[in-house]
Chain A
């Protein structure tokens, strides 16, 4: 009696499984995308390598200000990386250390309340509270920001800092309405609709400067894996993929339904050479390493031709970079070998630190290892996970470290200070411990950086910082590699993106889409 019952049951299970399988297969094969399709929708989905809801950004209620345009700073950054009015229309240096900023009139937060000087003060204080170390970038101390009246804010810097307006164009100093119950409430063209782990949906802020953004909604989605992000773009799950890996850029460009845009950013890749650790404490050896490297071949092969061969430590897009004036070392490996022979180097292995998650840098490390080997210098590649990479670097444990630095504001002064000043963040730990550092050439360069920091005009600044760049190269404190060029992948039907040297400041307000069929896609 039980046997037939069992048979029926098995058959039912089999049928159900088969039906489920067919259903699932049909679901997989359907042409209908779940988001970011090429219809005439004015909603767009953007895939980011970084998490738009990163835990580090609790000050902004876990909506990362980079890319999202929910909040705005007082000062914006122009396409030539100069400060330009944003929430502040004008600013004046009252004296060497006092600045007054006039707020734009008629600006309202997403909740309808007016922007006032008190909101600016509250936002700056909140930033100093969350990230105590950023006051060093601006020369401000907590409590040094005051509201003069409803629309005027005063800042008192500890030292003269002419580049102050550019320094506060960083997203750290974006203004929020801290009285709002649901943060972040900003003034940007998009307001937060919903957030979930790794994804934030924004809708257009209709009252934005009397100009409603073109897209009605934007969704930023965390797609960390490069291939997944690219496939999502090609499949139409997303409309825009930020940071397409260079080795997949050609495939995205050749795909009939996608295209790419590239832009040289202000990020530079270089080898930081430890000046205080044997055997790289020998200047002859450091110069030899520089003569061995072929930046053009590196960009052409490892970076798939996307990027610029570097001559200095700062991208050519930074206003005071003297890239064009810097002499190129080589490549000349015969000369490099002679320098090695003349140096005190006696065959020991140089440690070369690299971030294990950075595919480009890992490949560059292997190519460098090969070139250094050709000139008789042995290296050992040490891959370190991103969480401990910077700590290992500033601890001065490696002879060589492949790093990439760029500025996210209109004033890149903090960059030159962090990298080459003895008390800059990269060198401070070793300098405090034993008076050395990592790749800070010493007192003279420290003084040049301080003079550049105080320089009143762009020309003056360029003169001081330019000299820093020359000294850094002459002493072989770095081996320049490349100036980064980021790749943005988009559906062919998407238009209206104007690239920016700082990719985190890309604007989405003009985004539009050609309906399927209209573009021949």
Chain B
């Protein structure tokens, strides 16, 4: 292991600023970071990535289709990092360490301590340890058969219990919960989703869209219960889960499997133990640096200002910022940007951004085709688009998001907004064109082409 004392960042294109970069965590963020560094001049000479899962990096977003049986395990795998695209031909050497758990960080010596006793030195350390399903404090939460849905192990456990059939209860009607529910249903279980809020996906959808979603899922055979809270999880003599009891209800929902999808908890260890500043997650600055200038944090384990992360889009932007810094240049600092939520619940398309519920000064435009399960709701303030919920047909989502980002005034075309991009742009073009579409104006031209004008008539005009 090298032990470089280099502290001064180098300009891009010169010798690497960092000789040995160590990344803890082998998830999608780490994978993306390595891929990005591989294409950049001034990348570290050597990158070691340490993952505690026994298998290589995989696309966690695809766990839902995997659970639903739509793809197989091979389909999950992310391509092993290759770093042969560097324009300067400087390819980082990459070492991947699987099934290795980091237990401590010796910041002074810039050295990692691993569960098997191994010590790994680093010039710079990136923590990309991700998150796990939150396990609320409910009686019976530790019963056998109660788990989350976050990684491949979770997914496998769910698939295994589905082999036996029976009933499953999913606690949490957000994206992950609904995906788990759909996966289990497809694998033959009878599934009930419990949602504390009065509607599904309450952070992304409004009442109408949520109701359409609930109806669609119900039609597929998933029981949806909203406005309910779990009182306790009951188990049998062997400690295996047997049922769920709801607050204010006496009857039990029988369950051989309970999936907790009420939220995620950042994996802040081992950073916190090493004394890094930590709030809900590891606090980073706009260069993704933690309170230690040799340690960065990335993705779901980090916190920037008050934001923590669960969606991939801002994390990709974090990767861009971090990779540039690791290559010795500082560019645009990371900043929080609004982003659209694009969700795919097994064939159900959703797209949303901005406020979920209409407030006082919002003007509301809706399109609803109940029979087809298509719904769009736009929120405008002062003629500008500030939010949208699209359900069913989300093709115009990116365009609407773009319109909202541009902040253009849309009053002149607002009646075409719900119809789509082509309609709106045609209208914009028409309105900006000097050509007047009233055929009567031709008469103006005819008058102009009279050999001499009827002056009295014209002067009157």
Whether chains A and B associate is no
Where the two chains meet, the residues of B that have a C-beta atom closer than 8 Å to any C-beta of A are: none
